Amino acid sequence: MKRISSIAACVVIALVLVVMPSQAQLSYTTPNVVLEENFDSLPHTGTSNVWQDNVTLPGWFLVNSTGAVPTYIRISDGSDNTGAFYSFGKSGSTERALGGVGSGGAYFGTPASGALAGYWGVKIKNDTGLTLTNFTVIYDVEQWRDGGNVNVQPLISEWAIEPGGWLTTGWNFGASTDSPVHTSSARALNGNDSANRVADVSFSSGSILWEPGQVLWIRFRELNDSGNDHGLAIDNFRLLAIPEPIVVTFGLLVLGGLKFWRKRK
């Protein structure tokens, strides 16, 4: 389930974490507070489930290459090679990750080989009443399927403030993470295993002006890669933002501490 963790410095060398429930809409209300999502509220039974933006997973959105919102999300342990967005996890487990398997099918708007299939992403509103000047994002990249393609396929994240749409241009680069496994043998993988996961991928915005009331969008790119597509997903998403450059060091210490505090999959 989604939680917001309040983090404060008790002494110079200590941090205290206080956990509070988040709201249906992602609202960032207090600087130096870590917003996190572990995706465990995603559907985990059956083969597919109805998807509604900001409802199935509050604050999170799906879009295909034409700008349309997919009407469903598939559920798989990686054994499914159907092109779609997925709730990935071991069969029957509530421990989930959000990702996709790209394709040129109608689900993604029939994109050409090598073209954009779609995005999944999150919107976060600055409700602190302050101008935030820096944020840092950390997440795990998990691979749940080896598509049987020897080519590396990256998962790329990008961000923008009030971009106007998921398919607009001018977004800022976040991070690029290569698929950990890329062999000629198509098979399901356990994305929770260290060999199939890149933990704690991170990026920072640098100096910005995220004004009160503005919405930060973060998107994860799904391509229709050439040949068979691997199944990549994200888990343990965390964001922390600060109002002044002087506290960047404190914010990074908090996020560093979360690498050890958060539940390992």
Task: Please determine, for residue 84, whether its predicted confidence score (pLDDT) is greater than 90.
Answer: yes
Confidence of residue 262 (pLDDT cuts 50, 70, 90): low
Query: Please, which residues have CB within 8 angstroms of residue 103's CB and are 6 or more apart in sequence?
Result: 82, 83, 84, 117, 224, 229
Return the pLDDT at 245: 59
Q: What is the DSSP letter of 263?
A: P
Q: According to the model, what pLDDT value does residue 11 have?
A: 28
d(CA 40, CA 1): 6
Q: How many residues does the chain have?
A: 265
- Tracing tokens 């509050």 back to the chain, one arrives at 58
| Rounded Cα–Cα distance for residues 30 and 242 (Å) | 9
Q: Which residue has the tokens 């956990």?
A: 19
- Write out pLDDT tens, residues 132-144: 999 999 999 999 9
Mean pLDDT for the stretch of residues 6-19: 32
Q: How confident is the model at residue 222 (pLDDT cuts 50, 70, 90)?
A: very high
Q: With a cut of 60, say whether residue 261 has pLDDT above it.
A: no
Write out the two tokens for 96.
């989930």
For residue 196, the model assigns a pLDDT of: 99
H or E segment to which residue 121 belongs = strand 116-126
Structure tokens at 143: 């691979």
Q: Which two tokens stand for residue 92?
A: 């029957």
What does the CA dihedral 111, 116, 117, 118 come to, rounded to 10 degrees? -140
Q: What are the residue boundaries of the structural domains of the chain, listed by start? A: 3-261
Does residue 155 have a pLDDT over 70?
yes
Greater confidence (257 vs 244) lies with 244
What is the predicted pLDDT for the residue at 184?
A: 98
**82 has pLDDT over 60:** yes
Residue closest to 127 by CA, chosen among 13, 220, 35:
35
Are 77 and 146 in contact by the 8 Å Cβ rule? The answer is: no
- What would the DSSP string read from start to end of 22-82? PPSS-EE-STTEEEEE--TTS--SSSEEE--TTTTSTTEEEEETTSPPPSEEEEESS----
Query: For residue 236, what pLDDT band results from cuts at 50, 70 and 90?
Result: very high
Gap between the Cα atoms of 99 and 84, Å rounded: 9
Average pLDDT over residues 200-227: 98
Confidence label for 244 from pLDDT (cuts 50, 70 and 90) = confident
The pLDDT, as a whole number, for residue 29 is: 96
Mean of pLDDT over the chain: 89
Q: With contact defined as beta carbons under 8 Å apart, do 96 and 40 qualify?
A: yes
Confidence of residue 258 (pLDDT cuts 50, 70, 90): low
Radius of gyration of the chain (CA): 18
Residue range 3-261 forms a domain whose CATH class is mainly beta
Q: Whose CA is closest to 58, among 127, 2, 4?
A: 2
* Least confident interval from 17-26, 187-196, 197-206: 17-26
Residue 102 pLDDT > 70: yes
Q: Whole-prediction pTM value?
A: 0.85
pLDDT computed for residue 16 by the predictor: 31
